[in-house]
Amino acid sequence: MKCIHCKKEITGRSDKIYCDAYCKSAYHYEKRKNEENYTFFKRVDHQLKTNYKILKHLNVEGFSTIRQEVLQEKGFHPKFFTHFWKTKKGEVYLFCYDFGFRTITQNGKQKYLLVKWQPYMEPFLKL
């Protein structure tokens, strides 16, 4: 009998389908990776991590303004966020973990105001 992943001859039990643990793991990884039915959870998790990395990279100072196109070209998707914070003035910042953003218009151009979570911001969940 041959391994279903690497096609090498299998030794040992007659019901074995993999030659070793590596082939078993690699086979299942490839199977999941190539599935058309990529789970909703994984897609959301991937986009949240992408958004976080982009916000963290572009907001080194903790407060900055950047054009929407720049973030979107890097793969940022504003509909994916972990929580929000509303200021006393009613402005809503959407957060991806500890980096937040808010849509603003400056000189007729759509931009994002980027911020970093601060201690004075009321937590949405008290632990």
Check if the beta carbon of residue 96 is closer than 8 Å to that of residue 81: yes
CA distance 69 to 67: 5
Q: Residue 105: helix, strand or coil by DSSP?
A: strand
| pLDDT of res. 94 | 95
Q: Residue 47: helix, strand or coil by DSSP?
A: helix
pTM over 0.75: no
Check if the beta carbon of residue 62 is closer than 8 Å to that of residue 115: yes
| pLDDT of res. 12 | 87
Q: Are residues 56 and 79 in the same domain?
A: yes
Residues of the chain with pLDDT under 70: 34-38, 123-127
Report the domain count for the chain. Answer: 2
Domain of residue 64: give its range: 40-116
Check if the beta carbon of residue 97 is closer than 8 Å to that of residue 38: no
| pLDDT of res. 127 | 46
Does residue 96 sit within a domain?
yes
| pLDDT of res. 65 | 92
Kindly state the DSSP code that residue 124 receives in the 8-state scheme: S
Does residue 111 sit within a domain?
yes
| pLDDT of res. 99 | 95
* Alpha-carbon dihedral sign for residues 7, 10, 14, 20: negative
| pLDDT of res. 38 | 67
CA distance 54 to 34: 26
